[in-house]
Structure 1
Amino acid sequence: MGKTVKLYVHWVDTFNRWVGRFAMRLIFVMAAIMLYAIFSRLFLGRPVNWVMEMSQFLLVSYYLLGGAYSMQLDAHVRMDLFYGRLSAKKRAVTDAFTILFVIFYLGVLAWGGFSSTEYAWSYNQKNYTSWAPPMWPVKAIMTFGIILMLLQAISAFFKDVAIARGRPIA
């Protein structure tokens, strides 16, 4: 593999590791918001109407921003009927082939995410609730997470091709 590919893999892996480790901490922010809602309702007698949506938005951010890091760590679910019996090179060939479908899927999702975010921004789309938050920030975060997964999938493709060729990228 050339220097450009190695540099791409290094930078994508480094950036996704940083974003993934940041996203892991969002679960604590979500828990704090939920605890605040409980405290506000039980002790102050003032229910808060924005907590459920904010928790959902944070969970979406947690899930999608952490997706690329999960892919990088190979921590996703895999159906392992025959895969585990294959040699490292054959697994790499299999992964390099199947990741192309993932790349296509993520490309379609990214295109839809751009379209949806642009629509939410242009028309000032709001959620139909009493809080009525604007939708573009969460849609932008979702699209960003999908793009990170797409970049990580391309990185995985390069690494698998390198392994299949007998020259893994360190």
Structure 2
Amino acid sequence: MYEVKPKSPIDYISLAISRVGLFLVAVIVGIMFYEVVMRYFFERPTLWVNEMSLWIGGFIYLLAGLYVLQQRGHIRITLLYDAVPRWVQRVFDVISTICICIFAAMVIHGGMTEAVQKYGRWETFGTAWDPPIPATMKPAILIISALIILQSIANLIADWNETPLPEGVVEDDVIEELKGSYRQTVSDRHD
């Protein structure tokens, strides 16, 4: 798989934030491995691994949504989109962007009071370990929703004058880049 190259400052921000999600997956694997070792080899299960993996997993889910939007990997009815002229595709893009922005704005509007309250009283999860999952996740949802609004508008602006390729078609420069990577891998194996 190849990544869409960044075209705007918000693209760079989205990619940088999304890279954190890549490392968080490794953190979850590491702490789950630690839990298995502690539970089954030392018979000393932890109190914190389950909640920590839920907490980190929630952040990964949020970051993944932002990454998919930046990569233009969201669901689109390509059979219809690819069959219409570019001006109709632009209309579809505008409608899609408006829908995304309205939804994200409603999430922000509807969750602002609750997020401020949970963060203000540093609400915890209510378990034995008692991490501040609600106090951190609710504001994070609002922050990511705001970034989704910015990213969807940036996508619309960046893609406005481009002619999108039909689904499954890859640009020549990407193919050449992949060929170069393959050649390098093959030559590394022979050395």
Q: Deviations over 1:14-58 (max 9, x none)?
A: 111111122222111111111111111112211112212211111
Identity among equivalent positions (%) equals 26
Q: Deviations over 1:35-91 (max 9, x none)?
A: 111111112211112212211111111111232221111112223341221234432
Contact 1:60–1:142 (8 Å) recurs in 2 = no
Structure 2 unaligned segments of length 5 or more: list them: 1-6, 164-191
Contact 1:92–1:163 (8 Å) recurs in 2 = no
1:150 aligns with 2:135: no
Distance 2:70 2:87 in 1: 18
Distance 1:31 1:113 in 2: 31
Distance 1:67 1:139 in 2: 16
Contact 2:104–2:146 (8 Å) recurs in 1 = yes
Match of 1:106 in 2: 104
Distance 1:57 1:88 in 2: 43
Distance 1:17 1:148 in 2: 12
Structure 1 unaligned segments of length 5 or more: list them: 1-8, 165-170
Match of 1:3 in 2: none
1:57 aligns with 2:55: yes
Distance 2:148 2:85 in 1: 26
1:127/1:19 CA distance change after superposition, 3 Å: same
TM-score, with length taken from structure 1: 0.80
How far 1:94 moved relative to its partner? 0.8
Equivalences for residues 76-91 of structure 1 within 5 A: 76-91=74-89
- What amino acid is aligned across from residue 92 of structure 2 in structure 1? T
- For these two proteins, the number of residue pairs brought into alignment is 156
Contact 1:23–1:66 (8 Å) recurs in 2 = yes
Larger deviation: 85-94 or 102-111?
Answer: 85-94
Distance 1:39 1:146 in 2: 38
Distance 1:130 1:51 in 2: 11
RMSD: 2.1
Distance 1:38 1:29 in 2: 14
Contact 2:8–2:158 (8 Å) recurs in 1 = no
For the pair shown, which has the larger CA radius of gyration, 1 or 2? Answer: 2
TM-score, with length taken from structure 2: 0.72
1:79/1:56 CA distance change after superposition, 3 Å: farther
Match of 2:43 in 1: 45
1:16 aligns with 2:3: no
Match of 1:140 in 2: 139
